[in-house]
Amino acid sequence: MAEKQHQREILLRSASAFPPPPGVKLSYGTAGFRAEGSILASTVFRTGVLAALRSLKMGGATVGLMITASHNPVRDNGVKVADPSGGMMTQRWEPFADAIANVPTAQDLVQLVFDFVKEEEIPFGGVCSAEVLLGRDTRPSGESLLEAAKQGIAAVVGAVAIDMGVLTTPQLHWMVRCRNKRRKASESDYYTQLSSSFKQLMDLIPKETAISLFDTTVLVDGANGVGGEKLIELKKMLPGLEIHVRNTGKDGEGILNEGVGADFVQKEKITPHSFDLDDAGRRCASLDGDADRLVYFCISSACGRKIDLIDGDKILSLFALFIKEQLTILKKEESKGMTDKLPSRLGIVQTAYANGASTDYLRQLGLEVVFTPTGVKYLHEKASEYDIGIYFEANGHGTILFSEQFIWGLESLNIQLASNSPGSDYQKAALRLLSASQLINQAVGDALSGLLLVEAILRHIGWSIEDWSKLYQDLPSRQLKVKVVDRSVVVTSNAETQVVRPPGLQEVIDAETAKHSHGRCFVRPSGTEDVVRVYAEASTQEAADALAQSVAREVDRFLGFGSLH
């Protein structure tokens, strides 16, 4: 009883120093909490409390807390929690995150926490210990918000905060995952694992492509964020690959995410700052502000600032092509009865925003493609159901998940092949998959590990960026949004591709879509504002525009108030 009273007093005293800003209500989504950095101290303090409680709930396992606003403008900041798996915080705790961020007083906060602790049966008041790893990106507001997070964690008796310094978001997630697997988890360990697995893949490149004239240079836009400076460190350990990083944000040159970065390049489809026609034909890539998104692009000498964009859909397709090739090689060995059968169900996970041409291409390869609602948390969860699950959003966020069972089977298979087929194509395929599982960040989308895997696969196949770009031709698309009085009126099903309510709207969408060749259209309510988003595809840009406009008008007629964007 005395321990709980002591805990109550500490929490009340600490929370009183971080009053919430009046009139501000925040919601914890896929990206955690985000707002202007100047008003986030209370939210970050309270998220520190939440992170400590999460660690206690998980038996003292390490949890992560990252301070970043990713691709948002530099004035913004945010905070999110990484679960012990290294993935995003469980969705089941999101309502508590919303509640703890928005309770008006310190007294209300303490009562909410104690009620939640009782409901969740969390050992509280110094009974057990908790550990939270902290990271932040390069935003000016990050340092003060880090202190707020530390205060929140310290307000939970028995909780310890470990400041890992300035990091990319994926680095922090990777560290949490490794620490809970009892593996080395420092930043230098991260660089060592990525560089060594990249070298292994490079050593396994087929002789016929290894001698081809391949441009070893890639130009990288660092978004004036943390990813650029980390890539400069990593590239020192990568012989055979020339990485030229631009937009590093060093010495005050350039502003974070302003006219640069993966989000800008993917949405605007033009070159970021520091890239021009002199780079025409070169392989270019762009990170976002916290380096969890990656897109590639190529500048055409005839198009000024326009680019050929290679987005997350084509990165996914490249990864799928490579993984399928290695599995096919291994299955040939299995068919001879020379090795044990490897559990190797490969699944591709997309959202409805994936370009229809990419889905068609993947299915033509004979791959299983499934859809989830929009949001990385849904994609990641679905991908984890496969032996190998690959997911990407068009914005460049995604990864590959390898099940523990698959990795164990692959390691066992490699031992068998080393005995009966050393140096064979079969053993090389097994080693490539093992190396890929070490190179890719399985905790979360990671632009740095993704970039290295792309570079290794392009070298393996012997493709230029033009070859990759021609993998398939994207269908023209258009996105619009319609302001509505209440977005909750729209209810969807089937991974947000079908409208269930209001009655009759889906029939109207189907009728409009049927008017266009290769037409596809869906609407979904925004997760953050009272708008309904409209996505349309068709065989021409004019048709895609017309389909989006006609459906937007119908949505407005059903439930809007005359405002299309």
pLDDT of 212 reads: 67
Give the type of residue at 227: G
What is the rounded average pLDDT for all residues in the chain?
94
User: According to the model, what pLDDT value does residue 528 have?
Assistant: 67
- Count of H-run helices and E-run strands, the chain: 19, 20
- pLDDT tier at 127 (50, 70, 90 boundaries)? confident
Annotated binding-site residues for substrate read: 393-395, 524-528, 533
Task: Give the start-end residues of each E strand in 214-323.
Answer: 217-221, 242-246, 284-287, 294-299, 307-310
Q: Which pLDDT tens digit goes with each residue over 34-83?
A: 999 999 999 999 999 999 999 999 999 999 999 999 999 999 999 999 99
In whole angstroms, give the CA distance from residue 519 to residue 356: 10
* Tokens describing residue 262: 């993966």
Q: Please enumerate, by residue number, every residue annotated as part of a binding site.
A: 70, 288, 290, 292, 393-395, 524-528, 533
For the ranges 165-169, 249-253, 401-405, 540-544, which has the lowest average pLDDT? 249-253
**pTM of the full structure:** 0.94
Smallest CA-to-CA distance from 170 within 151, 191, 149, 184 is with 191
Percent of the chain with pLDDT over 70: 96
Closest C-alpha to 353, from 470, 266, 252: 266
* Helical (H) or strand (E) element with 131: strand 130-136
454 residue type, one letter: V
Q: What is the rounded CA–CA span in Å between residue 271 and residue 219?
A: 12
Q: Would you say 220 and 228 are in contact if contact means Cβ atoms under 8 Å apart?
A: yes
DSSP string, 515-554: TSTT-EEEEEE-SSSSEEEEEEE-SSHHHHHHHHHHHHHH
- Binding-site residues for Mg(2+) sit at 70, 288, 290, 292
d(CA 225, CA 289): 5
User: Two tokens at 342?
Assistant: 């490897």
pLDDT category at 110 given cuts 50, 70, 90 is very high
A 10 A CB-CB count for 151 gives 19
Q: Give residue-wise pLDDT tens across range 428-456.
A: 999 999 999 999 999 999 999 999 999 99
| Of 14, 42, 70, 195, catalytic | 70
To the query of whether residue 70 is one of the catalytic residues in this protein, the response is yes
Q: Residue 561 has what pLDDT? A: 56
Residue (of 379, 374, 348, 352) closest to 361 by Cα position: 348
Report how far residue 127's alpha carbon sits from residue 60's, in angstroms, rounded to the nearest whole number.
11
pLDDT in tens, 391-401: 999 999 999 99
pLDDT (average), residues 402-418: 93
φ/ψ (deg, to 5) at 131:
-135, 130
* Distance from C-alpha of 335 to C-alpha of 226, rounded to nearest angstrom: 48
How confident is residue 516, by pLDDT bands cut at 50, 70 and 90? very high
Q: Which residues pair with 34 in a beta bridge?
A: 78
Q: Are the C-beta atoms of 317 and 350 separated by less than 8 Å?
A: no
What is the enclosing helix (H) or strand (E) of 200? Answer: helix 187-203
Q: Which residue in the block uniquely carries the two structure tokens 């070893």? A: 216
Write phi, then psi, for 532 (nearest 5 degrees). -110, 125
Can you name the residues that pair with 219 across neighbouring β-strands?
244, 284
> For the chain, which domains are there?
2-166 (3.40.120.10), 195-312 (3.40.120.10), 314-469 (3.40.120), 477-564 (3.30.310.50)
Residues 6+ away with beta carbon under 8 Å from 417: 333, 339, 424, 426, 427, 430
Residues 6+ apart with CB under 8 A from 203: none
Q: What average pLDDT score do residues 71-100 get?
A: 96
pLDDT of 337 strictly over 70:
no
Q: Which residues does 304 contact at the CB level (< 8 Å), separation at least 6? A: 277
Residue 529 has pLDDT above 80, yes or no: no
CA diameter of the chain:
75
- The alpha carbons of the chain give a radius of gyration, in whole angstroms, of 24
3-state secondary structure string across 378-415:
HHHHHHCCCCEEEEECCCCCEEEEECHHHHHHHHHHHH
Cα 370 from Cα 391, distance rounded (Å): 10
Q: Is 330 exposed, middle or buried (0-12, 13-18, 19+ CB in 10 A)?
A: buried
Convert the pLDDT of each residue in 166-225 to its tens digit: 999 999 999 999 999 999 999 999 999 999 999 999 999 998 876 666 789 999 999 999
Residue 257 structure tokens: 């995410």
